[in-house]
Each structure stands twice: as structure tokens, then as C-alpha cells.
Structure 1
């Protein structure tokens, strides 16, 4: 019988043409005119056949407006994603934020970071070099 080695469980490399790089600028996520996350230390994840995604460090996400959801999704390249719902300014919406709390090793740098669904929140990214908003 093969034994399961928990120490290597999250060591699967990322595939699918994934790259993660620091974003040189400020990324802000807004829901119902309330900033729910803003960071100068965001990461930009690009994945083959997917739109680019900004990941904001947890320390820059305003979790006072969020509650953890029972929703968990799985990506074969990144791992299992937890989700959070938002309530702000008298409005609410389910599953607006996700995070890979223990991502696979190939994308380990996104641990401790959250991403926001662009169809559910407004995401603004302003590049430091050009002072221009970035459209992804």
C-alpha cells in the first residue's frame, strides 16, 4: 500500500502557463462605493486561457466587510480556493473574494493574498510608471 506524504501534498508545480509577478502600482477593490481592499504590494497572475488576476495581500484587505463563505472551488494548477462574501454600505453579495490559502508550490507566492471577482466588485489598477489605470 502506498503511503500519503502530507509534506509533499502542496508541492505540485503550477502548469497552464501561469506566471506571477509584482505589480508596480496600486490596486483597489471597491464594492458599493466602499474600498474593501487596496494595496501597493499586489501581485499580477497571468494564466493561459484566463484573464489576468490581481492578488492583494491579506494585510491590505478589509475583512471587516467580509465573511467566509462555505464555497470552496478547485483549480488543478493552484489548489483549493476559499471564498468570502461582502456586506458594505447596506448592500451584500456572495462569493466576491477568493484566496488559495495553501496553494500548490508552483504558485506559492499567492498564499496570503486575495483576489476579487471583477464582475462583482470594481477593480482599479494604477501603474506607478504612467499614473494610468490599467485595463485587463
Structure 2
């Protein structure tokens, strides 16, 4: 699977976990040079508190377009630390 935004591959891995239609990539499969930590957090009742990254690619910014669960609840432990994408990031095979 690949996560692509603004003409760049942000993440690539054969080891994604799909939850609720979102592919969660291993952290080491994500190109950190495109990520900027965000102050945004949201809470999922069964996964826990999500943290976000803003994508910065080719002088364009996509606020909070990636998220992860640094400390997932027990039911979501398999995706702890993995990164998922939205807001126009294309996830393709």
C-alpha cells in the first residue's frame, strides 16, 4: 500500500492494518520529512486519544492529514503507533 499526497509517496508498506476502512502504516514506513507534529488531539471511545501530523510537501500544507494512537486502548493495541491518513491523501495498492 502507498499513501500519496501532492505527488509524493508519504508512506509505503505491505504491512498495513485496516480498521474502519483506514490503512494504518507502520511508523517506520512513513517518510518523517513530510510530517510536522500537530497540537490536535481527538478521542475515540474504543481506540483512545489520537494525535495528528500536518503534511508539508512541495511547499503545500495539509493540516492534520495523518493521525496515530501513541497509547491505544486494549481493543486497538495492534494499531498503536501506526499512522493513518485522510484529507485528500490517496491510499492505493
TM-score (norm 1): 0.66
Return 5+ residue gaps in structure 2 as ranges.
none
The residue correspondences of 1:84-103 to structure 2 (distance < 5 A) are 84-103=53-72
Q: Using the TM superposition, give the Cα deviation of residue 28 of structure 1 relative to its aligned residue in structure 2, in angstroms.
A: 0.6
The one of 109, 118, 123 equivalent to 2:78 is 109
Aligned to 2:10, the other structure's residue is in SS state strand
Return 5+ residue gaps in structure 1 as ranges.
1-26, 47-51, 127-136
The one of 2, 7, 12 equivalent to 1:38 is 12
With CA pairs under 8 Å and 6+ residues apart, which has the higher RCO, 1 or 2? 2
Partner of 2:90: 122
Greater fraction strand: 2
Aligned to 1:77, the other structure's residue is in SS state coil
Runs of 4+ in 1 over 3 A off after TM superposition: none
* Aligned equivalents of 1:31, 1:56: Cα separation in 2: 15
Q: Using the TM superposition, give the Cα deviation of residue 120 of structure 1 relative to its aligned residue in structure 2, in angstroms.
A: 2.2
What count of residue pairs does the alignment treat as equivalent?
A: 93
Aligned to 1:106, the other structure's residue is in SS state helix
* Aligned equivalents of 1:76, 1:65: Cα separation in 2: 29
> Whose radius of gyration is greater, 1 or 2?
1
